[in-house]
């Protein structure tokens, strides 16, 4: 999050559990959350906009040959995909500008000789899958509860379609990113 020159509408992805959690006044004031109260869209590092510079640093200054990243599902699917069947229907629900952005990102990595390693889920989930504020307050009574309810199967299905070069999935990018893993840090969940 955070973009130095893009308008907020092109940068901020507020429909994710982490953003809603980090900007919730109730969570900011809650002891034990250790939130600064600053808006991540304003103070974030700006990778969504500055990825080319980040990749230059990785390739040239750090001499990396790979770059680990994740797909931000809240950007790709800001609204629920519940009840959506088939890749063509998913494509209609997906944000086409976000799909294009990720293809641009993968191409930028390749131009620098960086192999993309894609974790299909790192930590954040779309808000329609996980109510981070509600679950922090009452995990037994919150809804939706993210991984507890149903997301593991959906993420693994997304991973399968991502890995399949012949897939008609809107997020099938195997030709651009050959290495992927379904979860970045499953034990942390």
pLDDT in tens, 129-150: 889 899 889 988 888 887 677 6
Task: Evaluate whether residue 156 is within a structural domain.
Answer: yes
- Structure-block tokens of residue 182: 């379904």
For residue 59, is it within any domain? yes
- pLDDT, mean over the chain: 79
* pLDDT at residue 88 greater than cutoff 80: no
What pLDDT, on a 0 to 100 scale, did the predictor assign at position 101?
92
Question: What local confidence, expressed as pLDDT, does residue 108 receive?
Answer: 96
φ and ψ of 15, to 5 deg: -95, 40
The pLDDT of residue 63 is 97
Number of structural domains in the chain: 1
Mean pLDDT of 91-100: 86
Tell me how far apart the alpha carbons of residues 81 and 76 are, in angstroms, rounded to a whole number.
Answer: 11
Give the Cα-Cα-Cα angle 86, 152, 154 (nearest 5 degrees).
Answer: 10
pLDDT reported for residue 189: 43
Look at residue 23 and tell me if it is in a domain.
no
Alpha-carbon separation of residue 84 from 47, 93, 151 (angstroms) = 30, 8, 15
In angstroms, rounded to a whole number, what is the distance separating the alpha carbons of residues 147 and 137?
Answer: 17
- The per-residue b/e assignment along 152-169, b for 16 or more CB within 10 angstroms, e otherwise, is beebeebbebbbeeeeeb
Residue 33 lies in a domain: no
Domain presence at residue 37: no
Instruction: Please enumerate in sequence order all residues whose Cβ is within 8 A of that of 139, keeping only pairs 6 or more positions apart, or say none.
Output: 145, 148
Q: Extract long-range pairs of 156-161: CB within 8 Å, 24+ residues apart.
A: 156/182, 158/73, 158/120, 159/120, 161/87
Could you tell me if residue 35 is inside a domain? no
pTM: 0.78
Determine the structural domain holding residue 114 and report its residue range: 46-188
Please answer whether residues 33 and 66 qualify as being in contact, where contact means their C-beta atoms are separated by less than 8 angstroms. no
Q: Is 163 inside any structural domain?
A: yes
User: Would you state the pLDDT for residue 76?
Assistant: 85
What's the CA gap between 123 and 30, in Å, rounded?
21
Share of the chain above pLDDT 90, in %: 21
161 belongs to a structural domain: yes
């Amino acid at each position: 999050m955070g973009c130095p020159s893009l308008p907020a509408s092109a940068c901020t992805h507020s429909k994710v559990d982490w953003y809603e959690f980090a900007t919730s006044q109730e969570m900011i004031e809650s002891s034990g959350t250790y939130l600064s109260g600053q808006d991540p869209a304003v103070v974030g590092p700006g990778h969504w906009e500055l990825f080319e510079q980040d990749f230059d640093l990785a390739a040239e200054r750090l001499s990396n040959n790979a770059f680990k990243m994740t797909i931000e599902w809240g950007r790709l699917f800001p609204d629920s995909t519940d009840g959506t069947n088939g890749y063509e229907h998913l494509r209609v629900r997906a944000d086409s500008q976000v799909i294009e952005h990720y293809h641009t990102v993968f191409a930028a990595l390749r131009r620098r000789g960086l192999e993309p390693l894609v974790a299909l889920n790192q930590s954040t989930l779309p808000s329609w899958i996980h109510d981070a504020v509600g679950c922090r307050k009452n995990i037994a009574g919150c809804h939706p509860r993210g991984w507890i309810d149903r997301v593991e199967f959906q993420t693994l299905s997304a991973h399968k379609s991502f890995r399949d070069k012949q897939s008609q999935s809107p997020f099938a990018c195997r030709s651009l990113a050959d290495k992927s893993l379904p979860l970045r840090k499953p034990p942390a969940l």
